[in-house]
Amino acid sequence: MFTAQQIALLINAKIEGDASITIASFGKIEEAQNGQLSFFANPKYEDYLYTTKASIIIINNNFILKQPIDATLLRVEDAYSAFATLLGKYQEMQTQQLKGIQQPSYIATTATIEENVFVAAFAYIGENVIIGNNVKIFAGAFIGDNVHIQDNTILHAGVKIYADCKIGKNVIIHAGTIIGSDGFGFAPQQDGTYKKIPQIGNVVVEDFVEIGANTTIDRATIGSTIIRAGAKLDNLIQVAHNVDVGNNTVIAAQAGISGSTKIGKNAMIGGQAGIVGHITIADGSKINAQSGVSKSMTEPNKAVTGSPAYDYTSALRSQAAARKLPELEKRVKELEKMIQQLLSVEK
């Protein structure tokens, strides 16, 4: 149980209402009940603000109520961000309680395990692995030889990290993700077969990265595939060998990035987007869902859409024009008919 006063301290909020009221869980504003905390940030949900049974609501400082409500309000600069912070604290409290090594699990004698580490049953930790403080490794995870995992990182169930990869601090990798599988490298032979090119590099995941479930990040042929600090990758993404994903870039589900492509910082890549290899994506680029990017984007903060992808605004204009084609065809035929009539009169 937490009081409004305690929660306000965590998110630096101003209290409107009963500071001693308590909550035990969270709820969506349209469904929350007494004893639950919710938040209001999207204007589309304003009607629920006045009917919800939530005991505490996190709300923006500048929002003006149209009618009184019973809930205690916690006023903050950004309700959505504050709610995310609060959920993070709650989750952290739950995972901090996990410590120790469950059995059966395998830990090589040459591995180094620091303090307050949790290793769940059926995990495998290979030779010369270094596990930092407060790392949580859940059931069925595989950590190959010479892997380094820094403090406060969480590996969920079934994560596989191949040999020699490096994982930074405060990283979260969700279930089923594979880090360091071989890059897709094959040399065509004269007889029509393909000769495998050994992939001897690794993957480097820097600090504060989050990677969704069942994503695959291939090891470099030589050197490193790099996911830089603050990047966020959704579920079911393919990142090929020697790709470099910039700081704080976000990539939505089912996107695919081909080998040796360099993506700048603060880029946004929509779901099912495809990016060819050996190109550069500038800082702040926005790639719409299902777009196919076939050449470098060198201008920062530019948005593209379509396949092949091109300027977002121009694409929308083209789509609007395409919808008018039947009407334009009709008008052209009418004009042709009028011209024929005028020519007939002149004769």
Q: What is the pTM of this model?
A: 0.83
When the pLDDT of each residue in the chain is averaged and rounded to a whole number, the result is 94
283: closest CA among 303, 259, 266?
A: 266
Q: Count of CB atoms within 10 A of residue 31's CB? A: 12
The reported pLDDT for the residue numbered 298 is 96
Q: How far apart are CA 166 and CA 157, in angstroms?
A: 19
Tokens describing residue 89: 């604290």
Provide the pLDDT for residue 346. 66
Q: Which of 148, 156, 241, 278 is catalytic?
A: 241
Flag whether pLDDT at 319 surpasses 80: no
In this prediction, residues 331-340 reach a mean pLDDT of: 87
Measured N-to-C along each axis, helices 312-323 and 325-346 cross at an angle, to the nearest 10 degrees, of 60
Q: Is-catalytic flag, 278? A: no
pLDDT in tens, 85-124: 999 888 877 777 789 999 999 999 999 999 999 999 999 9
Residue 310 has pLDDT above 70, yes or no: no
Give per-residue pLDDT as tens, 226-249: 999 999 999 999 999 999 999 999
pLDDT tens digit sequence for 186-241:
999 999 999 999 999 999 999 999 999 999 999 999 999 999 999 999 999 999 99
